[in-house]
């Protein structure tokens, strides 16, 4: 449909071309017929045309309910209602498709006092309801943004007032007035402090409906943060794969006031193909421009990650969708009876020894399957030497074939680790399905893979600032170098690390509060997981750290390692320093 705004430029042509044609026709006919008769005919045509146009425009099109609401007539009524009834001590909330809706901005004298509950069209049913810390409040739902069903119990004791009826017989708005928040029954209470700006008080999870998981988040604001932060919710499996995400900014942070209770509903998308099992919801707040996240602070005010993990969240298997999605690499191969390999996903065409390789197999099962089948992923060189990278049941051995309901569409995501001693060269990846005797009953080529040499370092470079710190019994930090904004941490593996640890580097203010600047990632900007390190290997990990405006001292660098899934930090041992879960360094260094 063309843009109405751009189409305005066509109006002169729409009007003038018929007018010129009519004048030309009139002059032509007037030279051949009596002018008076033609004048009456023209007048009759104009009267008939005007009558038909009036009827079509004002009595048909203009009376349609969709035209009424598409032209914001309900918000016009809301603006008039607010101006007529607003009380000085009352907080007014308005639900609308747009934040700071321009129609209300143009019409209402009370516009600056309004707080908005914007509706996210990408997440149907999601939204927020806010209860101020003190004083009466009113929440207004225009016809175009009706009150969601989940909010009805929270407003059961509020006083309801409806506006006049629209062309469809429905109220153009409904207003609810209340003086206090209702009692909140939180199934999973928490107390997660995000940057001393807002606290996650807990959550409820409902049963999955129509491809979405209903999540209720309960927040209490401490005040508006200096930057704009919006919530995020990531749906992750036990192995860290993110299946979906939502960014439901239902109550923008610039509106937060100390003590506000924010009840937020998020319908988390459930994509087709998810295996049945326990999942986690990673919840936090981020700046949409910079990507910075509000830190999760523990009871002592120390950094404890940048999100809260809500788990376990059990999600059952869902029936296959009517239209199956297309895999990146189509196969559509019939395996043994009852099972079809629709396609697969795989990582890049090149990798280094010790790297992780992400794979996914898209299955469609339409009959019960045997319990003794297994998957095997192999890597074969040009000399026919073969390495087995994986052998076991689907979904990391957690979802055996025999447990699959029928029918089932399943995306089986697997992670294989390439051997650290794998010679460089060209290889071929393949997946096999094995029977109870270990014989291959199905084989699917997965394409070529080139193994390139890994650039490993085993001798530390010169170190200006020595630390000789040990994190557990796995990783040491001999020291660091600092050149202006460039901070280089020198890590060394004491043994092969057993997990993928996240490095945190925080610049604390002069009061020791996090964070003037922070970065949390795997080493080398997230590109070199600790599980790939070999015993004795040295890893140079560089960060560009902005220099504070006041460099006279008093700042602190906080450095450590933690497990992202749990937030658990590795304990640090240093000579003549009490044991801690982080290294604290004066900045600038002496």
- Give pLDDT, residue 554: 79
Residue by residue, DSSP assigns 16-52 as HHHHHHHHHHHHHHHTTS-HHHHHHHHHHHHHHHHHH
- Give pLDDT, residue 366: 92
- Give pLDDT, residue 42: 78
Asked which of 349-363, 432-446, 543-557 is least confident by mean pLDDT, the reply is 543-557
What Å distances lie between residue 444 and 124, 340, 428, 527, CA to CA? 40, 12, 11, 30
- Give pLDDT, residue 303: 77
Contact present, 356 and 366 (Cβ < 8 Å): no
- Give pLDDT, residue 549: 65
Contact present, 236 and 242 (Cβ < 8 Å): yes
pLDDT per position as a tens digit, 220-264: 999 999 889 999 999 999 998 999 999 999 999 999 999 999 999
Cβ-count burial 90-102 (b if 16+ within 10 Å, e if not): ebbbbbbeeeebe
pLDDT at 564 over 90: no
- Give pLDDT, residue 2: 63
Q: Average pLDDT, stretch 206-210? A: 90
Contact present, 484 and 534 (Cβ < 8 Å): no
Q: Average pLDDT, stretch 485-490? A: 92
Closest listed residue to residue 220, CA positions, set 94, 141, 133, 109: 133
Residue 400 pLDDT class (50, 70, 90 cuts): very high
Q: Identify which has the larger pLDDT, 398 or 39.
A: 398
- Give pLDDT, residue 203: 98
Question: Tokens 């914001």 map to which residue?
Answer: 72
- Give pLDDT, residue 216: 97
Strands 137-142 and 91-96, how do they pair?
A: parallel
State what percent of residues in the chain have pLDDT above 70: 98
Contact present, 172 and 143 (Cβ < 8 Å): yes
- Give pLDDT, residue 140: 97
pLDDT at 551 over 70: no
- Residue 429 to residue 442: CA distance in whole angstroms: 14
Query: Which 3 state secondary structure label does DSSP give 435?
Result: coil
- Residue 146 to residue 125: CA distance in whole angstroms: 10
Strands of the 173-178 sheet, one edge to the other: 114-118, 91-96, 137-142, 173-178, 159-162
Closest listed residue to residue 412, CA positions, set 280, 274, 281, 236: 274
Asked which of 14-28, 43-57, 147-161, 342-356 is least confident by mean pLDDT, the reply is 14-28
Contact present, 359 and 446 (Cβ < 8 Å): yes
- Give pLDDT, residue 93: 97
Residue by residue, DSSP assigns 513-559 as -S-SEEEEESHHHHTS-GGGPPTT-EEEEEEE-PPPS--SS-EEEEE
- Residue 96 to residue 75: CA distance in whole angstroms: 9
Residue 37 sits at the vertex; the CA angle it makes with 34 and 43, to the nearest 5 degrees, is 135
pLDDT per position as a tens digit, 95-117: 999 999 999 999 999 999 999 99
- Give pLDDT, residue 12: 86
Does residue 171 have a cis bond before it (omega within 30 degrees)? no
pLDDT at 451 over 90: yes
Residue 476 pLDDT class (50, 70, 90 cuts): very high
Query: Which 3 state secondary structure label does DSSP give 473?
Result: coil
- Give pLDDT, residue 117: 96
- Give pLDDT, residue 550: 62
Q: Average pLDDT, stretch 70-84? A: 96
pLDDT at 390 over 80: yes
- Give pLDDT, residue 33: 66
Print the SS3 string covering 198-259. Answer: EEEEEEEECCCECCEEEEEEEEEECCCCCCCCEEEEEEECCCCCEEEEECCCCCCHHHCCCC
- Give pLDDT, residue 332: 77
Q: Identify which has the larger pLDDT, 151 or 293.
A: 151
Q: Average pLDDT, stretch 488-517? A: 89
pLDDT per position as a tens digit, 256-282: 999 999 999 999 999 999 999 999 999
- Give pLDDT, residue 38: 72
Rounded to the nearest integer, the mean pLDDT of the chain is: 91
pTM of the model: 0.83
């Amino acid at each position: 449909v063309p843009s109405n705004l751009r189409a305005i430029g066509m109006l002169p042509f729409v009007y003038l071309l018929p007018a010129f044609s009519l004048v030309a026709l009139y002059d032509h006919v007037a030279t051949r017929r009596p002018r008076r008769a033609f004048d009456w005919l023209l007048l009759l045509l104009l009267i008939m045309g005007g009558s038909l146009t009036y009827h079509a425009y004002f009595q048909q099109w203009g009376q349609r309910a969709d035209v009424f609401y598409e032209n914001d007539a309900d918000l016009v009524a809301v603006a008039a209602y607010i101006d007529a009834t607003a009380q000085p001590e009352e907080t007014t909330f308005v639900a609308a498709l747009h934040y700071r809706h321009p129609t209300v901005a143009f019409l209402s004298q009370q516009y600056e006092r309004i707080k908005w509950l914007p509706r996210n069209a990408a997440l149907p049913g999601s939204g927020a309801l806010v209860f101020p810390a003190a004083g009466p409040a009113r929440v207004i739902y225009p016809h175009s943004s009706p009150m969601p069903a989940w909010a009805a119990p929270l407003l059961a004791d509020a006083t309801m007032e409806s506006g006049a009826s629209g062309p469809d017989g429905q109220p153009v708005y409904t207003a609810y007035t209340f003086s206090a928040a209702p009692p909140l029954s939180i199934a999973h209470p928490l107390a997660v402090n995000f940057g001393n700006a807002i606290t996650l008080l807990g959550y409820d999870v409902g049963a999955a409906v129509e491809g979405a998981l209903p999540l209720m988040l309960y927040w209490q604001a401490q005040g508006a943060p200096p930057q704009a932060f919006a919530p995020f919710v990531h749906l992750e499996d036990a192995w860290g794969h993110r299946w979906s995400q939502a960014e439901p900014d239902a109550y923008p942070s610039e509106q937060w006031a100390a003590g506000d209770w924010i009840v937020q509903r998020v319908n988390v998308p459930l994509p087709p193909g998810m295996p049945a099992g326990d999942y986690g919801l990673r919840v936090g707040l981020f700046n949409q421009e910079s990507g910075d996240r509000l830190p999760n602070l523990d009871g002592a005010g120390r950094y404890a990650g940048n999100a809260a993990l809500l788990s376990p969240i059990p999600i059952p298997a869902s029936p296959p969708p009517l239209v199956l999605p297309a895999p990146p690499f189509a196969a559509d191969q019939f395996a043994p009876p009852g099972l079809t390999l629709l396609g697969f996903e795989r990582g890049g065409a090149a990798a280094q020894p010790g790297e992780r390789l992400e794979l996914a197999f898209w299955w469609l099962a339409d009959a019960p399957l045997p319990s003794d089948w297994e998957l095997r992923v192999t890597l074969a060189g040009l000399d026919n030497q073969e390495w087995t990278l994986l052998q076991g049941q689907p979904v990391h051995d957690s979802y055996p074939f025999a447990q699959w309901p029928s029918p089932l569409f399943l995306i089986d995501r697997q992670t294989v680790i390439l051997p650290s001693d794998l010679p460089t060269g060209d290889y071929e990846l393949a997946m096999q399905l094995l029977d109870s005797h270990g014989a291959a009953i199905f084989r699917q080529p997965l394409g070529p893979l080139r193994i390139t040499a890994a650039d490993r370092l085993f001798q530390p470079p010169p170190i200006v600032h020595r630390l000789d710190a040990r994190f557990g019994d796995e990783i040491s930090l001999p020291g660091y170098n600092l050149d202006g904004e460039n901070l280089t941490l020198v890590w060394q593996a004491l043994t092969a690390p057993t997990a993928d640890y996240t490095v945190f580097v925080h610049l604390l203010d002069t009061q020791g509060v996090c964070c003037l600047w922070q970065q949390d990632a795997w080493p080398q900007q997230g590109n070199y997981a600790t599980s790939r390190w070999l015993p004795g290997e040295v890893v140079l990990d560089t960060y560009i750290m902005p220099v504070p405006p006041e460099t006279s001292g008093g700042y602190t660098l906080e450095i450590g390692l933690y497990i992202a899934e749990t937030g658990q930090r590795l304990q640090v041992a240093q000579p003549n320093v009490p044991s801690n879960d982080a290294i604290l360094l004066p900045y600038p260094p002496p």
